[in-house]
Amino acid sequence: MVESPSPIPLFWEAALFARHSFSIVARETGKALLRRKEINLTFLPFGASELDPVGLPEYASILAACVGNKKPGPPASPIKPIMVRLQFPLRPFPPPKMTWVAYHPWEYSRAPKASVEVMNRTKEVWTPSKFCVDAFIRSGVSAEKIHVIPNGVDLEIYQPTGKQAILPTTNPFKFLFVGGTIYRKGTDILLEAYRRAFTSSDPVSLVIKDFGKRGIYPFEKGEELTREFARNSSYPEVVHLPAHRTDMEMAELYRACDVFVSSYRGEGFCLPALEAMACGKPVIVTAGGATDDFVSSSNGWHIPASLRLHGDTVFNMPLDGETELFEPDIDALVELLRRAYRDEADRRVRGADAAKSAQAWSWDAAAEKIVTRCQYLTAAT
């Protein structure tokens, strides 16, 4: 009888109990890895917590795998452990006696010099999209160490059938935006295009599920802009939803709307677009960005966009040259909004294809790629 190889010791350092996308990715990818026999996963919670996971079944497996909570296991593995850090800014100190991997999303065309220096010290860099890969290579990260580990979606929760959220509107048609109402995510562009595309008498609403004003985006003014727009009775209707919603409630929200829209200037992946697709909704997104990995002409619409220089610093961190952001074409977005609204048959076809396309983007699929990388890394040491 041939003994199976020892599981690979993997330490996952990230903010586990926050509400931002880094934390969501860390939790969901981690839960998928806990289901893999090839990996012995230990969580190292990092940063501030916004959620209390104690007693909640969806966090039970994560808590049990956190350092200090894990039950004694088999004797120490002879395999060199791997440390994956998913955080920003990147910690510059290498973990002792471990293979160091940085899991790093990025939304701009260039990365900070400090981040590049850290990434070039790691064994590998994992990032969720081809856009991020190009940005890191452009910034000076060694191309051979960068690998795409995509984000995913919980296909048991995010699916086309199921309960729909009850929203405070009588309008039958609803566009949906999910994310921080910040410059980089282009909510100002979306509001302006929506104002031009419709009038207050059109039976249409733009639902904005805001995020981050009291967290990672405290100084952005997009929430005030959204509220001011919603108060203007001469504009088409905006429904502003700033309160936190669970995954189940988010799935209900996606299903209650007709089309997801994100006229972003910069994204490292855009997880809400994928979640909307899994719920059977076609999406309107910026062309040329990270969403090109999973949004096609059969499951959504692309907003033409140009590139514009955006300075040589991001978050007060110097870059090696000026970064660029996309500038979506407002006139083109106006026409796409009108087209999506008017053509129910087209929406239905694209939505069905969106749900089908999303099936390939589960968290288990992401975990499979991580297992492959871990097996390569341990074989190489």
Looking at the structure, tell me whether residues 204 and 341 fall in a common domain. yes
Looking at the structure, tell me whether residues 127 and 246 fall in a common domain. no
Is 17 within a domain? Answer: yes
List beta partners, residue 44: 13
Which H or E run contains 86? strand 82-86
Looking at the structure, tell me whether residues 180 and 287 fall in a common domain. yes
Looking at the structure, tell me whether residues 248 and 104 fall in a common domain. no
Looking at the structure, tell me whether residues 46 and 136 fall in a common domain. yes
- Burial class of residue 249 in the structure, from the number of CB atoms within 10 Å of its CB (0-12 exposed, 13-18 middle, 19+ buried): middle
Question: Could you give phi then psi for residue 124, rounded to 5 degrees?
Answer: -145, 160
Domain count across the chain: 2
Looking at the structure, tell me whether residues 250 and 371 fall in a common domain. no
Sign of CA dihedral 84, 87, 88, 92: negative
Is 325 within a domain? Answer: yes
Looking at the structure, tell me whether residues 45 and 127 fall in a common domain. yes
Domain CATH code at residue 260: 3.40.50.2000
Series of mean pLDDT values for 10-residue runs along the chain (381 residues)? 70 92 94 96 88 84 91 73 94 94 97 97 98 98 97 97 98 97 94 97 97 50 82 94 92 98 98 98 98 98 97 95 97 98 98 98 98 94 68
Is 2 within a domain? Answer: no
Looking at the structure, tell me whether residues 328 and 195 fall in a common domain. yes
Looking at the structure, tell me whether residues 353 and 228 fall in a common domain. yes
Looking at the structure, tell me whether residues 373 and 325 fall in a common domain. no
Looking at the structure, tell me whether residues 286 and 185 fall in a common domain. yes
Looking at the structure, tell me whether residues 210 and 76 fall in a common domain. no
Q: What is residue 244's predicted lDDT score, i.e. its pLDDT?
A: 87
Is 75 within a domain? Answer: yes
Domain around 143: 8-152+362-380
Which H or E run contains 117? helix 113-119
